[in-house]
Structure 1
Amino acid sequence: MSRINPGSAKNAIAVAKVVAPAVIPVVTPYLIKATGVLRERWDRHRARRMGIDVGELAQYSGHGGVLHARISGVATALAELPERDGQDAVEAAELTEETETRLRQLAAAVRAAERMPAGRRRAAHKAVSTELDGIEARLLRRLGV
């Protein structure tokens, strides 16, 4: 096993100077394509984890992106609630109005937490997540799930 010494390092650099100009143009397109494929897979993974489409990923960026996606999903489900529930639409409308107000407050809290120090931001996000858990549970009970 040979050791690296100044002479062998000098020889390796000389070989690299000769080989690199021929190899780089050949390898670069493959590297660019591989990078694009990896980025696409990563974006699909993130979108799937958030429960959204890949096209919506840019809307839910930042530290609170996951929470904003959850808030948006609950708001969408709430918008459909009165349409599904014909027997006691008044109660459903009250629930919708009350919950939409709370969702707006939670979204504002998540936006405010974006610029907080990491510890405070995590605490705020945890509080919002806990509140969202309760709202989602109430909504699912209302839908009979």
Structure 2
Amino acid sequence: MAREKSSKGFTPGRAKNLVGVAKVLAPALIPVVAPIAARAAALLSDRYDHYRAGRLGVPVDQLTRYSGRGASLHARIAGFSEALDQLRDTERSYVETTEKRLAQLLAAVRASERMPAPRRRAAHRAVATDLDALEADLLKRLGV
């Protein structure tokens, strides 16, 4: 009884043949594939940067300012600071007091980057709660 060759399965002989073919084709394909792969990687990186910037609500060119696990809180604090400029002339004492509080919150976010995960999450929740209250007050003062 003769053994039939199976067309299924990956045998050591087939693997050896594939390696031999790859050794011959790889030097010819690398100059063709490498530029395409580089362009694809650059495009993916650019799209991911736009995605992250959109989630944080900041322009792409400012994305490097906001990194780490507290990036979204950092971006919220920066946006809040910019919104305070509209009240600087009319409510100077409120703006100064709020800017001091924002500086404290920003310091807490930065400090929390090196904390263990449970403490970091608790700190981020506390900062987010504080920011929610400050934003509600700001919106009320802006008449929104």
TM above 0.5, one fold?
yes
Map Cα deviations across residues 69-97 of structure 1 (whole Å, 9 max, x no partner): 110110111122134xxxxx3xx222212
| 2:42 partner amino acid | G
Map Cα deviations across residues 26-82 of structure 1 (whole Å, 9 max, x no partner): 011010001001100100111111111111011111111111111011011112213
- Tell me which of 2, 9, 30 is aligned to 2:8: 2
Partner of 1:23: 29
Return the alpha-carbon distance in structure 2 between the equivalents of residues 59 and 130 of structure 1.
23
Map Cα deviations across residues 89-119 of structure 1 (whole Å, 9 max, x no partner): 3xx2222122111101101101110110111
Offset of residue 2 of structure 1: 1.6
| 1:52 partner amino acid | V
| 2:8 partner amino acid | S
Partner of 1:130: 129
Partner of 2:111: 112
Identity of aligned residues (%): 55
The number of residue pairs the alignment matches comes to 138
Partner of 2:49: 43
| 2:116 partner amino acid | P
Structure with the greater alpha carbon radius of gyration: 2
Return the alpha-carbon distance in structure 1 between the equivalents of residues 103 and 75 of structure 2.
13
Return the alpha-carbon distance in structure 2 between the equivalents of residues 98 and 131 of structure 1.
14
Alignment gaps of 5+ in structure 1: 84-88
Q: Which runs of 4+ in 1 moved over 4 A?
A: none
SS at match of 1:28: helix
Looking at secondary structure, tell me which structure has more helix per residue: 1
Alignment gaps of 5+ in structure 2: 1-6
SS at match of 1:116: coil
Offset of residue 142 of structure 1: 1.0
TM-score calculated relative to the size of structure 2: 0.91
| 1:114 partner amino acid | E
| 1:34 partner amino acid | A
For the aligned residue pairs, the C-alpha RMSD in angstroms reads 1.1
TM-score calculated relative to the size of structure 1: 0.91
